[in-house]
Structures are given as C-alpha cells and as structure tokens.
Amino acid sequence: MNFLSQTIAAKPEPDWAALLALPIAESHDPLVPLGLVNSPLRSYPAYFHQGVPNALSECYVRRCVLFRLYKAARLLPSGIELVVLDGWRPLLVQQYLFDSLFAAMNAHYANDSESELLNRTRRFIAPPSNEPTAPSPHLTGGSVDVALCDVEGLFLDMGTEFDDISPWSYSAAFEAVEKPSAREAEVIENRRLLHSVMIQAGFTNLPSEWWHFDYGNQSWAWSSKSSEAQLGAIELQPLRQRWRRQVAL
C-alpha cells in the first residue's frame, strides 16, 4: 500500500471552544482567484451554480493555500484532477447556509434544545462570524471544499454528494464497512486518494466532511497542534473602496 491508499482514521469532532480561543497572527496573504488556474487543478463554484444567494461566480483562496492546492493536484495519478468547489465565502453566504441547515435540523429534531441543534448544525456548517478573534473557517480563505474528477470533468464517486449531511459524509465512514461492495471499495480508494494528497500538501481535514480541508486558519492550527493560526477573517476589497484608499495616500 502506498501513501495514496492509506486508511483514513476516524477522529473526534474538534473542541470548538478551544479551537476558537487559539490566537491568530495574521500573515496578510492575499486572496487570489482560481479562474485562470490550469489543469490538474480545476475550480467549480458549487454554490453559485446551485443558486445560493450572494454566492460568487469565482472561487477565491489565500495565495499560500493555492500553492498547496497545486502541490496536492500534482501528487494525483495521471488522469485524475483536483476540483475546488468552494473557498473564501462572503458572510452573507455563510449566514444563509447556516440558517438553512439549522432550520432543517429544527424541523426534524423539534424536541432538541437550541444548544443541541447548534451542535448538530455546526458539524457541517460553522456559525457565521467575521469576528477578528473567531471567524468562520471559510471566511479566512484558508478553508477549501474539494473533490476529484477525471480528465473529462466527470466527478469521481466519493460516496456522497458535496455538502451531504448524512453519517456517510464523515471522512472515515466507509472505512468501517467490513465487506465493501465493488462500488464501496471504489469510494474508499477515492476518499483515501483525496485525503492523502491533501494531507501531504499540508492541509488538515474536518472529520465530518470528506470534502473540507483547512490550511492556516484556527481549524488547521487545532488539528495540526500549532500554537497559533496564520489566517484570520478577510474580505474582498471592492474597486470603489480600493480607489478611495489609494486617493487618500
């Protein structure tokens, strides 16, 4: 077995309070668009194509994240490419996603307390926050949602769709299948491949989402046992704002 087919270990949920208490030493690395990126790294802004309000038609990540995405993509076998589905998110998009999932949880688990509903929701969507000391991971530009495709642009079978909220979305879920079918065996190998190249490139993975990886932010710092994060909340600067700042210089 080579490093591209390593078993994905089941891991517990992060200690969110301790995670959000980690200090941030902002690196000021800029956001960069992925629209001009060439094979073997592709971008497909999933929320824009799904019609999510205020979703961007372009995927953005911090520059240091892009370099690591390139590294991960170049580790993939010939014929398989890395697809970025989402990176930096506006606060309004984070709010919409959180509110939508919280409402679904509330409708199904009507007897749960608000704190229980919050815990169920945050396994898949972080509460919206652009607070300097505790931002939502995707608002830092350090979180990416990724998948794999072939050279024709067809997604490989990862076991669930992106943003699925079933137990099968946990990264290690299929590792527990004792006698996998042919299809399940393919899913296991695809997840191992994605997980392996992203970890080799320096990312960490959110255990509840096979597609979610972090670099530089508080989630990454917690999982990698770093004493501090490098990436805090960041915003795309509109042209009008940039011009006003430059005129004032």
Phi, psi of 22 (to 5 degrees): -65, 135
Q: Which residues are CB-neighbours of 224 under 8 A, at least 6 positions away?
A: 204
Is 145 annotated to bind a ligand? Reply is: yes
Q: Is 175 among the catalytic positions?
A: no
8 Å CB contact between 41 and 34: yes
* Residue 119 structure tokens: 């815990």
Residue 67: Cβ-neighbour burial (10 angstroms; 0-12, 13-18, 19+): middle
Q: Which of 134, 117, 137 is nearest to 126 (CA)?
A: 137
Determine the distance from the C-alpha atom of residue 154 to the mean position of all C-alpha atoms in its chain, rounded to a whole number: 20
Rounded to whole angstroms, the Cα distance separating 11 from 14 reads 9
Rounded to whole angstroms, the Cα distance separating 96 from 227 reads 32
Catalytic residue among 161, 189, 209, 235: 209
Rounded to whole angstroms, the Cα distance separating 185 from 74 reads 24
Is 138 annotated to bind a ligand? Reply is: yes
Is 49 annotated to bind a ligand? Reply is: no
Residue ranges at the known binding site: 138, 145, 212
- Residues involved in catalysis: 209
Detail the residues annotated as belonging to a binding site for Zn(2+): 138, 145, 212
